[in-house]
Each structure stands twice: as C-alpha cells, then as structure tokens.
Amino acid sequence: MRPLLAILSFVGLITASQATAENGPVVIELYTSQGCSSCPPADAMLHDLAQRDDVIALALHVDYWDYIGWKDVFGRPENTARQHAYARAAKVAMVYTPQMVIDGVDHVIGSRPMQVMDALQTQSGQGNSFDVYLTRRGENVIINAAPGARGDYVVQLVRYIPEATVSIARGENAGRDLSYTNIVTSWDVVGRWDGRSALALETAAAGESPIVVIVQTVANGPIVGAAELR
C-alpha cells in the first residue's frame, strides 16, 4: 500500500512549530523506498526535519518494492524487518511507504505534514526518560546515562550517510534525480539495560560517519533516550 498523496510545502510547517523537548531529541524513522512514487515528498520532509536540533531524523530504505522495476540502492532487509516488528508491536497486519515512526510510539503517513508535526509536538512535549551522553574515544564511542525508570531496554548504535543523490532509471520514479538525507547503513543492538544503575558502555564505532545511540524499550516499544555525534 503506497498512499497517493499530493506534494505539499513542508518547510513552513516545520519552522512554525518548535518542539520543547527538555530531555533529548525526538527520533523520527522514515520507512521509504526509491521504488515508491509517493515517497519523495516524505524524503523532502525528512531533509527539513533533519535540520532541527531537537530531532534525530533517520531514513530506513526498505526492499519490498524492489520487484516493481527498480532496486533501491539503499534498501536493507534489516530495515524491512524493523518496520514489520513495529507493525507487530502495534498489532497491525500491513506495512507501507512512506511511514514515519516517531519515538517508537506514533505511526503516521510520512507525507502528511500535519500528522507528522502533531505527533512530533506530542512526543517532544513529553520528553525522554533518560538523557544519553556520547563521547568519542579513538575508534570507539562511550555511552552514558544516569539511572531512572526501571525497564527492559536495548541500547542501539546507528550509523548513516548524511546525504546522497540517486538517478532513478526504472520503476515509478524513472527519470528523476532524488536526494536523500540521513540514510541508515547499520542499526545494531550493543547492549541491554534495566535502567536501575548508571549506563556506562563502550563500543566500537569506527569511521567518520555520524553516530546515533537510541535507548528503546524491548520489542520495538517507546524510545526513552537518544543522542547523536556528527
């Protein structure tokens, strides 16, 4: 299912609504595909959201539209699996593009700016349960957070490509040069945490690409803390 949506102006809506998160940024995951004609407006919106200091915006390219004529060069089966895991957590039977998942809680059509901004405002107003702090140490990153709400959390390390433009030769977007922002290249669980004691974790993070750490309730539950090093 790929909703057919009109191209809207996103920039004004984004700048007009300033989030007030006190405990860290809101994480926005866009599930998108180069083979989806409804996705470019959502890709453009994610680019604008990524300029905000109170948002971590991530593009997760899925692979389930590859069969219709164009193989997404950034598509990853791991991204498709993560989207399906969100669907199971929300008890829904179907996934689609473009979809935005905001702080692991709100699922909205990624090309509907009012829905996206309403969900962003709601999550930013609630804040995060934990402040997460990152420090580079050579080829590693040190992850710290103070204790707080008890729970069962996964600590995840995400790497991404900041920008890329692709010439689409076939499929629904054939003949277009499309630009993408914050393209996820890896998403790995690097630890588990119960929230009761301070989090102090060091893990490998080689290379110069930005580093994102996301602390999330297990089974694709709410995101409770996040931080980014660019």
The pair of three-digit structure tokens given for residue 155, joined into one six-digit string: 């600590």
Q: What distance in Å separates the CA atoms of residue 148 and residue 156, rounded to the nearest whole number?
A: 18
pLDDT tens over the chain, length 230 residues: 444 333 333 333 333 322 223 468 999 999 999 999 999 999 999 999 999 999 999 999 999 999 999 999 999 999 999 999 999 999 999 999 999 999 999 999 999 999 999 999 999 999 999 999 999 999 999 999 999 999 999 999 999 999 999 999 999 999 999 999 999 999 999 999 999 999 999 999 999 999 999 999 999 999 999 999 99
pTM higher than 0.85 for the full model?
yes
Q: What distance in Å separates the CA atoms of residue 70 and residue 53, rounded to the nearest whole number?
A: 34
The pair of three-digit structure tokens given for residue 149, joined into one six-digit string: 């709400």
Q: What distance in Å separates the CA atoms of residue 65 and residue 140, rounded to the nearest whole number?
A: 36
